[in-house]
Structure 1
């Protein structure tokens, strides 16, 4: 069994006239760190709530650990840890005392309590009260709560939300550690690609309740390269468009834009223009970073 999460045609309505999700087909394999990305209101949290059974499935099917979720909900959830909304942390208690509140509920041992504190780097907070914790420390304590049952699958909804750069780095290292050293498959949502780009192995992008990309981070990088453009301005832009038809030229205000794949393409384009005796005033590569690609994909879909 390689699929940890698989959704088939997952569709959800908030009301008869308001469709929140449309035909969501997630596929998350064992050992992946999967970044579920999309703008605020795109349907990320709704999807995660459906996967965890916090919302009733209306249309479609959910399989977790290769089992139908509806038929095996209790057994499945025993192997899942989640952080959907910030849990209630008691500011007047220490980190270990907060975990003790939930420990019996999860059926975890006291040894596991000590272990998860060490995993998230809060084992030496001594007598420090949670109200004295930084936001990043509170978030790591929240993750510790989700780790109490020693889950095979960890689901985190916007875990980097509100964290400063230090907190994001700490979260990044924790996620990688859980995946590499503890063998957890991790599904985490975010509305900012730059926050989790350095954590994930695979990406799903959702906009307006529809999946617009799903694949490995490497595949997203390839898409980024395919979106690369070359800005060109010559003594005759209309003539240049005719010369460069194979490169899908696009007319701009005082220049043209063509798609290119590599440096050899740039050389070939320059040569073709030179052979037609066109003066070249501008030949400027413009390659989107991943964040810009994410913005372009979600904006185009809107």
Structure 2
């Protein structure tokens, strides 16, 4: 038993009824107390993975451990400590925020004091008599999170929570997630198809493409991968000779310039000195460092 992990999956493989394999050997590890971003293009297998973790889809191959315990053997005990928001939540538009939560309160075994508390946590305690159908999309999403918080979970799982939100709604969601993690001590697993939406929230990242995990690690580790994929464009007085001079960097022609990979600025300085020693004039020196969003796109495109 390993209590350092809130979620650990081993060899998850899933085939839909039509024979289409949607997951292949998916291994993800979410440490206790962290915010884990589960990233991938639409259709990559994120929701299927989350549904398996929550027991909403029958496990075919592999193993799932939650809080260090086998999920299949301890399902009810585990789910009492898990809150989730998967796909579109069931909200009643003709009811107020507190009335929506009251519908589920007894089902979750929550007190009325907890109901008031979660409304404060998500910032909806002052909506008065306003009906949910009058809420903005961001307010509805926060109410959905409040619903998931009713049982005071140790683990919160959110599937594409930023979908359809405007910039203000995304900022509100970001602050809420960070607050839940820091002040409530919750471990949070959240999926998204856009890295830019959640990179300011998460501490760990797992990237899935075509049903397979293609990266798992911290944001700094993803940043190191970003540096390895950085390119430098160079144009000189004799690019053919420059390619021979820089052959150890495996240069390639890119339009009217030479493209070489680099990992840090010291390498750029070394290349410049080498070209200067060969009496080559440098007309263009343009570093092109991928941002994390572009790197995410590159990784998933390469795997397609």
Q: TM-score range by the shorter chain?
A: over 0.9
Q: Which residue of 2 aligns with 1:213?
A: 215
Extract unaligned runs of 5+ from structure 2.
Answer: none
- Find the partner of 1:249 among 244, 248, 251: 251
- Which of 106, 124, 129 lines up with 1:104 in the alignment? 106
Aligned to 1:85: 87
Equivalent residue number for residue 300 of structure 2: 298
Greater CA deviation, 178-187 or 126-135? 126-135
CA gap of 1:237–1:15, structure 2 versus 1, over 3 A, is: farther
Runs of at least 4 residues off by over 6 Å: none
User: Can you give the 5+ residue segments of structure 1 that lack an aligned partner in the other structure?
Assistant: none
The aligned counterpart of 2:12 is 10
**Structure 2: distance between partners of 1:157 and 1:16:** 24
Counterpart secondary structure, 1:214: strand
Report the Cα distance in structure 1 between the residues aligned to 2:240 and 2:248, rounded to whole angstroms. 15
Distance 1:61 1:279 in 2: 60
Q: Aligned match of 1:143 in 129, 145, 149?
A: 145
Query: Residue 262 of structure 2 corresponds to which residue in structure 1?
Result: 260
Q: Which residue of 2 aligns with 1:229?
A: 231
Compare 197-206 and 239-248 and name the one that shifted more.
239-248
Higher mean Cα deviation, 64-73 or 243-252?
243-252
Q: SS of the residue aligned with 2:7?
A: strand
Calculate the TM-score normalised by the size of structure 2. 0.97
Deviation track 1:134-184 (CA, whole Å, cap 9, x = no partner) reads 110000000000000000000000000000000000000000000000000
CA offsets, 1:86-139, max 9 Å, x none? 222111111000000000111111111011000000011111111111110000
1:95 corresponds, among 84, 94, 97, to 97
Pick aligned residue for 2:32 from 23, 30, 33:
30
CA distance in 2, matches of 1:286, 1:104: 56
**Distance in 1 between the 2:245 and 2:219 partners?**
35
User: Post-superposition shift, 1:264?
Assistant: 1.8
Describe the SS at the equivalent of 1:268.
Answer: helix
2:272 paired residue number: 270
Deviation of residue 223 (structure 1)?
1.1
Partner of 1:119: 121
CA RMSD of aligned residues (A): 1.0
Following the alignment from structure 2 to structure 1, what is the Cα–Cα distance between the partners of residues 183 and 19? 46
